[in-house]
Amino acid sequence: MGTVTAADPHFLADKDAKVFVAGHRGLVGSAILRRLLALGFTSVVVRTHSELDLTRQADVEAFFAAERPCYVVLAAAKVGGIHANSTFPADFIAANLQIQTNVVDAALRCGSVRKLLFLGSSCIYPKFAPQPITEGALLTGPLEPTNEWYAIAKIAGIKMCQACRIQHGLDAVSAMPTNLYGPHDNFHPENSHVLPALIRRFHEAKACNAPEVVVWGSGSPLREFLHVDDLADATIFLMDQYSGLEHVNVGSGSEVTIKELAELVKEVVGFQGKLVWDSTKPDGTPRKLMDSSKIHEMGWKPKVDLKEGLVETYKWYVDKVVSDKK
Ligand SMILES: NC(=O)C1=CN([C@@H]2O[C@H](COP(=O)(O)OP(=O)(O)OC[C@H]3O[C@@H](n4cnc5c(N)ncnc54)[C@H](OP(=O)(O)O)[C@@H]3O)[C@@H](O)[C@H]2O)C=CC1
Ligand SMILES: C[C@H]1O[C@H](OP(=O)(O)OP(=O)(O)OC[C@H]2O[C@@H](n3cnc4c(=O)[nH]c(N)nc43)[C@H](O)[C@@H]2O)[C@@H](O)[C@@H](O)C1=O
């Protein structure tokens, strides 16, 4: 794949430049914002969803024309777990196509953007892609039905970045993270991803001495989890070091079954009862371990171990979510 070398200073040498982090209150955006501030970036621009609805093209164009950011990290999206994705397919495809098209297009037109990074997801790959999944597996087979609408939007986002690079020379890159977790995750009982859902369910069961906790599916699917602070590091690393056409996988390299994950969350939370499996709920993709050798060869490696990350995330949930509700 072709490479465009940015003529501008590298991102990390440009800490006074204006950086727009879209989605700064979410799991990913908040981790990226924390990291940028810790690194000494002095001009990070943010807007909440209610201040700037990124599905509204005219508002996005006006924002870019007024702010004229130099760098853009696109971490705003409509996101959810297997239940939300399969229940609200129209919302997932429409909102994500609108947000990413509006942001990339406005970044292109405003003329101030030196680099943009788009965040996709490992669900862009075919359901039965050979494992571990390389970047080259994109568009080689049918998608997983529970999240194909979201996946199609994310694939369009990658293609939009590539098209803007080819036609206009916009330095737009795409990162494809595996399943993420950490502080500021969504702990909704039905619409969240598995890890925050289980933290909440085990915590609530422990609090009321419930005899059992229900976990969805068969427990056999394998998932690769990455702590969001590692993803934030990888995102900043790619902003600084990567200017290629092809998207880049970002994973931890290790996977667990959902049964192993549930046992681990049970142990971390300290729940004493038993697990019951609800086989009426979908399993989704049987396995999606990404091959992250491309970013590893560039020099980035994950640091946070799953158990360590889970202990810290559970503490955050108790301190910030449970305590705030009291
Ligand atoms: N979580 C995961 O496991 C994974 C996530 N990703 C990708 O990472 C990115 C971020 O995901 P994550 O942080 O988990 O998601 P979250 O749901 O935690 O955060 C999404 C953010 O997007 C903002 N947002 C949503 N819709 C709009 C809108 N119409 N206008 C403006 N802002 C909006 C929200 O703003 P507000 O808070 O103000 O409502 C929120 O800050 C996504 O692209 C996702 O696909 C990829 C792989 C795995
Ligand atoms: C990151 C990725 O995340 C989504 O895909 P997913 O990996 O299938 O996401 P998930 O976290 O919701 O489920 C993982 C596994 O876990 C099982 N599972 C058990 N018990 C609960 C449970 O209580 N909640 C949830 N959500 N899942 C559960 C569940 O049945 C499944 O087998 C995409 O839609 C899309 O958003 C995307 O890109």
Per-residue pLDDT tens digits for 47-106: 999 999 999 999 999 999 999 999 999 999 999 999 999 999 999 999 999 999 999 999
- The three-state secondary structure class of 58 is helix
Hey, what are 271's tokens?
């729940």
In the prediction, which pLDDT does 204 show? 98
Q: Give the residue from 127, 133, 125 showing the smallest Cα distance to 145.
A: 127
Beta strand residue intervals within the chain, DSSP E = 19-22, 44-45, 71-74, 115-119, 172-177, 179-181, 212-216, 222-227, 248-250, 255-257, 274-278
What average pLDDT score do residues 194-205 get?
Answer: 98
Q: How far from chain centre, in Å, is Cα 267?
A: 26
What is the CA(107)–ligand 2 centre distance, in A?
32
- The three-state secondary structure class of 277 is strand
What average pLDDT score do residues 280-308 get?
Answer: 98
- The three-state secondary structure class of 181 is strand
Q: Whose CA is nearest to atom 47 of ligand 1?
A: 121
In the prediction, which pLDDT does 5 show? 43
Does ligand 2 come within 6 angstroms of the Cβ of 197? yes
Contact (Cβ atoms closer than 8 angstroms) between residue 284 and residue 147: yes
CA distance 147 to 283: 12
Does ligand 1 come within 6 angstroms of the Cβ of 186? yes
Does ligand 1 come within 6 angstroms of the Cβ of 315? no
In the prediction, which pLDDT does 8 show? 52
Q: Where are the domains of the chain?
A: 11-184+225-253+288-304
In the prediction, which pLDDT does 308 show? 98
In the prediction, which pLDDT does 324 show? 76
Probe target for ligand 1 pocket from 33, 52, 79, 285, with the most ligand atoms within 8 Å of CB: 79
Does ligand 1 come within 6 angstroms of the Cβ of 23? yes
pLDDT at residue 3 above 50? no
What is the CA(194)–ligand 2 centre distance, in A?
5
Q: Whose CA is nearest to atom 39 of ligand 1?
A: 49
What average pLDDT score do residues 278-283 get?
Answer: 97
What average pLDDT score do residues 152-166 get?
Answer: 98
Q: Any idea of the CA torsion for 202, 203, 208, 214, to the nearest 10 degrees?
A: -20
CA distance 148 to 131: 19
125 labelled catalytic: no
Which string of b and e fits 162-184 if b means at least 16 CB within 10 Å?
A: bebbeeeebbbbbbbbbbbbbbb
What DSSP line would sit under 7-25, residue for residue? -SPPGGG-TTS-EEEETTT
In the prediction, which pLDDT does 7 show? 45
- Could you give the strand order of the β-sheet that contains 255-257, starting from the edge strand earlier in sequence? 179-181, 222-227, 255-257
* Global confidence as pTM: 0.97
Probe target for ligand 2 pocket from 194, 200, 261, with the most ligand atoms within 8 Å of CB: 194
CATH topology of domain 11-184+225-253+288-304: Rossmann fold (3.40.50)
Out of 71, 125, 150, 317, the active site residue is 150
The bound ligand whose nearest atom lies closest to the alpha carbon of 48 is 1
What average pLDDT score do residues 225-241 get?
Answer: 98
